[in-house]
Structure 1
Amino acid sequence: MSSIAVSTTINDDDVEFLCQPDETLLDVLRNRLGLMGAKEGCGTGDCGACSTIMDGRVVCSCLVLGAEAQGKTIETIEGLANGAELHPLQRKFIEHAALQCGICTPGFLMAAKALLEANPDPTETEIRFWLAGNLCRCTGYDKIVRAVQDAAAEMRGETA
């Protein structure tokens, strides 16, 4: 198979890479670009561990071909923090102990980021619905939901 040249934007950086026609975006991110945050949990789009944001929409990067990144804007967990300053979602996940083993955490954070960009004041039901594509076997979902609620309030400028 011949390689495909792809030009894209990842975490605000212009990136060019070569990939095989059958290579997933997850494989490109991890194996070609060294962005190890997105994890392969299931390889079938059922767990959300590989969630990234492509052109403003949450996608399972294990189901997207690397070639499909052509001309797109991609956000990964590596781009969430602003330098040394954690994103409010990251801080609230830590404060609420909304993570344990860490396999699912990047996917949850990226899905939550997309949610808060689309709806800065979601209800608990909306948060649970939005995050339903992400599975966690360690933490339990209540801590994750509380962390997202708290981060949303902070991002809206509300103080506790």
Structure 2
Amino acid sequence: MSQEAGCDTKGGGSTVTSVTAGTSGKHEETPVVTEDSSFVYACRLCRRILFTHEEIMPHSADSSSKGPKAFGRRGAPKQQSDQQNAGVCTSYFLNPDVSIWVAAESREAHCESGGTSVLPDTVYCPNNSCSAKIGTQSWVGSQCSCGVWVTPAFKIHGRAVDKLQSQ
């Protein structure tokens, strides 16, 4: 018998706490961890852990954004409705101030350009024996599949990483 639920977002991850009344009438708190807070993301080829949920830059497709229609081709056949496409993110955008290995690559590219915007560049797996292409980086920004423009964009493709249970 759940009477109320609270949400705790300390530390970047989100934890939902449900409060239940036991047979003695005292309230007992049962922490329920949400899906993304207990996962890590690893390179699909070498399985090196690349980032955690806390390193992902949050973004949301609100009603003020143009959505997928803004950059879509006109007259192209629609495979799915716009409502089905909205909110479906196929990539992860990392925060370069939190992700150490992304920060090193991004600062290098930014310094080489003299502090100006650089063209989109490839992000590789930091494992020297793997070096698989896992995404792109751009100081100008990039559009997510949900339609939101994210700046700066350190975009890791969802198909290049595996979502693993953290230990």
Work out whether the TM-score is over 0.5.
no
Which structure dedicates a bigger proportion of its chain to strand? 2
Which interval holds the TM-score relative to the shorter structure?
under 0.3
Which structure dedicates a bigger proportion of its chain to helix? 1
TM-score, normalised to structure 2, is 0.27
TM-score, normalised to structure 1, is 0.27
